[in-house]
Chain A
Amino acid sequence: MFDWRWDFTIEILPRLLEATGNTLIAAGLGYLIALVLGLVFALAQRTPYRLLTFAVRESIEFIRSTPLVLQIFFVFYVGPQFGIRLSPWTSGMIAIGLHYASYLSEVYRAGLDSVPKGQWEACTALNLSVRRTYTKIVIPQAIPTVIPGFGNYLVGIFKDTPMLSVIGVTELFHAATSIGAETYRFLEPFTLVGAIFLAISLPAAMLIRRFEDWIRASLGMTKLHAKD
């Protein structure tokens, strides 16, 4: 029933693996941007400046309520209308970084909120600076709360990288599409893409769980996941 050709499979494998490198770079870079921006968004919402808080809150809401693929298109195609011309990679990283930043900011927010009020008050009573309060007292305690969310979105951003192909970022999905267009064979390239995604996602999810347990253990907390 299937017309699976192994010679063709082996022939296209190097090209797909090379594109996998780009997928990993896109996911990694996008995630780094999201980690930093997400923290900025979360902290901005905790400042006493009403207007800033409101603007950030609404922007996050807006980004979360519209599709990622639209945002990618928007940054790439609408930018030039305002004289901002960006490469596919730059636009893609901005769009996916912003998108995930708005999700991660909620994870940060939940993490910061999970630290009891008494911890902040103890810091104030001891006269610790705001900076020190965050870096030494609050953020370390928020880490166990945020790790699962961070892990989910790391896998999420990885799985969303194919959307970057719509503006021509040469990641895995883009490579498979090109192979299909050149050879009129779709079965092998897309099956391989699926297999590669699976081969990365599954171990990553497992590593994240391990990491979570390790963090919790090193903070003297109980394990969430039984070893099985």
Chain B
Amino acid sequence: MSNESFPLKLEGGDVPMVRFDRVTKQYGDLTVLDSLDLDVKANEMVAIIGPSGSGKTTVLRMLMGLELIDEGVIYVDGQPMTHMEKNGRLVRAGQKYLRRMRSSIGMVFQQFNLFPHMTALQNCMEAPVQVLGLSRKEARERSLELLKLVGLDDKMDQYPARLSGGQQQRVAIARALAMRPKIMLFDEVTSALDPEIVGEVTQVIRKLHDEHSLTMLMVTHQMGFARDISDRVCFFYEGKIAEQGSPEQLFDNPRNERTAMFLSAVLEAD
């Protein structure tokens, strides 16, 4: 990759917490992210909306480092994440470096992905003990505090199969928070849930947003929630941001024809 035009690190007064710099991701012939640029400020809550297949999940997966990008560089807190510096140039990040960079990011998945053979508490404690090297006592205290935050401290000894979808998703949020990330990623965390329990999960996210300093990227189909809670909304279309702006601007006065079409289709379906 000829990456002379990508800085080794971001400096200056206004370094974003996350920067996608001309990021491209392809699966075979399919370009899923097309030279994407995206900045997210520290403590900003960005909602990502768009039609199915537009690359919303892919944005989060690339930032989490679950897969490699094909072109461009992702920066986290000013440091390159997908790449690292070597002899004054950027080269692809090694596993060790990637792991270090990943530690500031947490992700919550659509399908929860809790460990089914571990209780809620064990799910939360596993990584803090194994990865951060906390003592079991410290990890337990931290996990209990977070289970309390999501309103499930009374369910700490339950296995996931015994919990409702909403409860499982709240445990998954607590599990991600137990690693003390600076950035939290939510990928349609309510779309596998029954409509009547969506609220218990969105409430937790709202609480996180109001009471904790976290940078959040949230892919969602819930336009009302996105409008309510986010600082900025990005509308994705074919691997690019077709339009972005404040919730009021984007939902009330979409400038892009595709945004308008998408919104009217979604609102009609509700």
Q: Which A residues contact B (CB, under 8 angstroms)?
A: 116, 118-119, 121-122, 124-129, 132, 136-137, 140-141, 219-220
Contacts and interface: CB of A to CB of B under 8 A. Distances in A.
Given A136-B126, A220-B159, A220-B161, A127 B179 contact: yes
Select the residue from B66, B103, B159 with max chain A CB neighbours within 10 A: B66
A128 B131 contact: yes
Nearest to A126: B127
Given A127-B102, A219-B117, A220-B159, 7 more contacts: A116-B113, A121-B66, A122-B115, A124-B64, A124-B65, A128-B127, A220-B117
Contacts, number: 57
Contacts of A141: 115-117
Contacts of A127: 99, 102-103, 127, 131, 179
A220 B66 contact: no
A119 B102 contact: no
Contact of A125 (B107, B115, B117, B126): B107
B113 A119 contact: yes
Given A127-B99, A127-B179, A128-B130, A121 B116 contact: no
B56 interface: no
| Most chain A CB neighbours (cut-off 10 Å) among B103, B117, B131, B161 | B117
A140 B130 CA distance: 17
Contacts of A220: 116-117, 159, 161
A124 B131 CA distance: 11
A105 B201 CA distance: 42
A124 B179 CA distance: 13
Contacts of A119: 113, 115
B109 A121 contact: yes
A126 B131 contact: yes
A118 B117 contact: no
14 contacts: A122-B109, A124-B66, A126-B126, A126-B179, A127-B102, A127-B127, A127-B131, A127-B179, A128-B127, A129-B131, A132-B130, A136-B126, A219-B117, A220-B159
User: By DSSP majority rule, is chain A's interface helix, strand, loop, or mixed?
Assistant: helix
Contacts of B107: 125
Interface in B55-86: 64-66
A125 B64 contact: yes
Nearest to B161: A220
Interface string B165-194: 000000000011001000000000000000
B111 interface: yes
A128 B113 CA distance: 14
A129 B113 contact: no
A137 B126 CA distance: 10
B109 A118 contact: yes
Given A118-B111, A119-B113, A132-B130, A125 B161 contact: no
Nearest to B130: A132
A141 B116 CA distance: 8
Interface in B98-115: 99, 102-103, 105-107, 109, 111, 113-115
Contacts of B66: 121, 124-125
A145 to B, nearest CB: 13
Contacts of B159: 220
Contacts of A136: 126, 130
A125 B109 CA distance: 10
Contact of B126 (A118, A128, A219): A128
B165 to A, nearest CB: 14
Nearest to B105: A125
Contacts of B65: 124
B139 to A, nearest CB: 13
Interface in B115-143: 115-117, 126-127, 130-131
B117 A126 contact: no
B76 to A, nearest CB: 14
Nearest to B102: A127
A125 B130 contact: no
B116 A125 contact: no
